[in-house]
Structure 1
Amino acid sequence: MTALGKAASGLRTFTSDVAQGFFEITHNGFAVVGLAVVFAVLTLTARPDLRQAGEGQLMSWLRARQAQALGMVPELDAIDRATALNPKDLPKQQAAVAYWLSKKYRVAPEPISALVAEAYETGSRTKMDPTLILAVMAVESGFNPFAQSTVGAQGLMQVMTGVHSDKYENFGGKLAAFDPVTNLRVGVNVLQECIQRAGSVQAGLKFYVGAANLTDDGGYADKVMAEHERLRLVASGRMVPLVPPAAPALRTSAPGPALPAVKEEAARPVAGAEPTI
């Protein structure tokens, strides 16, 4: 064999030995990694506390990386705090009401859809027409959940939070007045008391606005009942014109005389303004 052949043979032998050694090392290395993974899985299965701690650390690291990349801290559960529903997910009747209210009061259909769904659910539970509940909200606040009058009427249904603070105790306190769903439920409870006390819806609305002891409620009950009728027609599938809404006038007058059924309510506002509870 020539010197060149010997060199080539030696090179092949060297390459083969290196490849074999590399294979054995990596094979053994993968085996070690596999055993380590199996051991880790068994450990995490037997120790859920370690698994939870590890998941928490991993999520913290991922959030920190995402916050660094985005310039803000991500909150994936923020959507759970939103009072909103896709109107397409509502029953046809409720969706029609939600879209109509959205157009008329110039508010997004998603939060309106959540309020419509809640009004129907609460109405079913309390035996109250949901379109009446929505009509009260429309006249009282124009669907502004953060509305507040100068004498303490707050939220969607403009409940006098100070007067009805006991009704918010089961919701964590008076600040819940600014949670739209809570305000709706408390407002319905107050309205229900007023109707039971007065004996009819029309008279109950007069109680609700605090004008029970007055000869005139400033047209409040008529406005609510008119909006109630429009919403009933919308819910039935009728085409109803979008009558421009009057701007809700929050209560500016001082509280009036006490009412046995609902404690102290506020008297009707000055002439020309819509009264609120």
Structure 2
Amino acid sequence: MSNREQIIISNIPKISAIYFALLENGYDYYAMGRSRGHISNIQEYIGTEKIAAPFFAAVKQNTCEVYPYWPRAAILETASFYLSPDGSHFQDRDALRNQIMNASNIADRERDQRLWDWIAGFPTALSEILDCEAFRNYLKWEEKWLDAQNLRHGTELRAIKNCLDVCVSRYSSPVQDIQIVINPIKCVYSADFHMYGNRFVFCSGIFRPESVIHEFLHHVVHPAAVEIADIVTAASLIYPDIDESYYLSDDSVGRLNAFEEYAVRRLTTDVMNNKFPKELISYLKELV
């Protein structure tokens, strides 16, 4: 990755379409932590066209109190990578199912048959958004907004690249490409990452260097945490500042998930201060 060009902030139209559809169906998290000018710009697109309401209205659930759009909004982001180029159908639904069913941060009740019955309607619903003139007009504004983001954050983007180059080489990461996707509608407190082949895709509502590093470190910490899972589950600790939702069903999987989040937060602080542990297993054991 070190020989690649500078990382930039970009968008993925399918993901942009997801959040545009949510906006049209009552998603109000776009306003949190935003400037008045930003809020006004987004509000211009609310109500322009009522589309695919039954499907996208079902993204909001009651399984996560702090952010009721978790995990379905993130699942749709993931699902978008398994669609055909025009978004009209799934190219590999089995691979998508495998990805979601093996995710360690999604509770079983959030990915039961109800999820799969619902997500079958995603290609049709998304295609309606992609073909919508209101969305195309919004996308033109979003692309101009992204240009401004790149101008504003050029120095920080270069610093992130340098930091991630070290992480990739030191922690045996398979990542060959990094894409930072910032969506002006998505909640600024929501950040997700997706591994698509050897490409790491960070997706959030705002650009924060520490958030990019945090999400990147999940994919290197996770396998190391799994290696010491017996130690973590036996300790059965309550980790400071880790919301109870991270513990999932409070079983061994949930406790490991909470530990991973805690470890990633600690490691993020360290690497942001140019403190790179030589070896992750020993580093993680010290946190238990």
TM over 0.5: no
Q: Which has the higher contact order (CA 8 A, sep 6+)?
A: 2
Q: Which of 1 and 2 has greater Rg?
A: 1
Greater helix proportion: 1
